[in-house]
Chains A and B, each alone.
Chain A
Amino acid sequence: MKIKLSFIIVPLIIFSVFYSIFFLSSRLQHPEKLLIGTWEEVSWTYEKADSYNGKNHHSADYIDEVIKHEISKDLVIHKSEKWTFSGKSDLYLHKESGEDVHAKWRLKGRGHILKMLYDDGQTIELYNIKELTEDKLVIHFENEIQARGIVKIEFKKVK
């Protein structure tokens, strides 16, 4: 009798825990929904760099345009000031020249990795999402050119 009772109680407990988790998570803001919209670059900083211009830097430093150009020269995000994420996984990088670059975006892990797949089907860029709120987005990527360390790009939502 005890065994039969446990066979009923155990699935019930598991089901109720699952139900509560998914009920609560559905009421919270989903990272994919938060990301949709147009984001404008506010700043580029770098953190955890061991040496920059001959000095040791332990705190975040702002990156000027020359260094930004050097760091991002191998990345497609280079010279993009506005990023538009659409609900259909499309990402448009609006460049200074007025030209747009298209990519597909996906969130991975627990919503902390932003994956971008460009139209050539080969180029993939991965960024760590450090902060995502309704009006602020902070992404990190590792860099070993010039400013060795973690580059932090901060955005504000404009649309």
Chain B
Amino acid sequence: MLKKFSHTRSNLDNIKLGVLTAFTAGMVNVSSLILFFSFTSNVTGHYAILAEEIAKGKWFQVFIVISWIFLFFAGSFLSNFIVINGKNVSNYISHSIPLVLEMICFIYVGIYGVYYYQETLMETEMLVAILLFSMGLQNGLTASISNFSVKTTHLTGLTTDLAVHLSMITQKEYRDNPAIIDKIKLLSSIAISYLTGGIIAGSITYYFEFKVFFYVSFSILLVLFYDASTTYLKLLFRKKRGKIVKK
């Protein structure tokens, strides 16, 4: 799911990565909407808000929204920066670092929210900024390693792509093209997963409040553990088996 890069990835690798990370994005977005009254997984809305606040001359809000957009940008930038600079070390390690950073962000927001949050505006803005940074990290990573096939927080583009591909299969020549069918499977599974994450978060956030972010980090841990188990555990078993055969 994580260790393969760009064109070496299969559609199944992209679906697995897309489903798990879109689920996380859906949960984070709905939880932050309930807790902070602000979206954190999409920046299209923030651009519209930025334009509105500039037009109204609300400069405090303008700077807040600019910093949020910049944080999302910085997250995506850092993700790809780590991926392209860590290619020579190990794909798994360089692709995991953004997810580990994302998990740290969620755990921080969870701990801060449970033990220290006084609901001041400054705290709200900072926590929203951290979540936007984490979503930038995630979106940057998935887009980067999948050659821009998987974008888990970008539902506007995803809905457009899904509509375009679905309209294509109204003609037989496209219906027989496996690449188009694969793309439809990928896009629809990401959309369903994002929605599922959102529904679950919407149902449990009122009860668990900030503890939701611990569950979100657990789903990121699943992504990391899945790849570690298919890479390093297999190697470990092979080595052990090799030793037994030699004996």
Contacts and interface: CB of A to CB of B under 8 A. Distances in A.
Secondary structure class of chain B's binding surface, majority of residues: helix
A111 B121 contact: yes
Interface string A1-32: 00100100010001001100110110011111
Contacts of B65: 110
Residue of A10, A17, A110, A115 ringed by the most chain B CB atoms within 10 A? A110
A31 B121 contact: yes
Interface string A105-133: 01111111101000000000000000000
A101 B119 CA distance: 21
Interface string A29-41: 1111000000000
A109 B58 CA distance: 14
Interface stretch (B66-74, B187-195, B208-216, B217-225): B66-74
A10 B37 contact: no
B59 A28 contact: yes
B81 A25 contact: no
User: Chain B interface: which size bin?
Assistant: 20 to 34
A158 to B, nearest CB: 23
B119 A31 contact: no
A22 B65 CA distance: 12
A110 B81 CA distance: 30
Interface string B25-60: 000000000001110000000000100010000011
A111 B60 contact: yes
Given A29-B60, A108-B38, 10 more contacts: A17-B70, A28-B60, A30-B60, A106-B121, A108-B36, A108-B37, A110-B38, A110-B53, A110-B64, A110-B65
Interface of B: 36-38, 49, 53, 59-61, 63-67, 70, 74, 77, 81, 85, 119-121, 124-125
11 contacts: A10-B81, A21-B70, A25-B64, A32-B121, A107-B121, A108-B37, A108-B38, A109-B36, A110-B65, A111-B60, A113-B37
Interface of A: 3, 6, 10, 14, 17-18, 21-22, 24-25, 28-32, 89, 106-113, 115
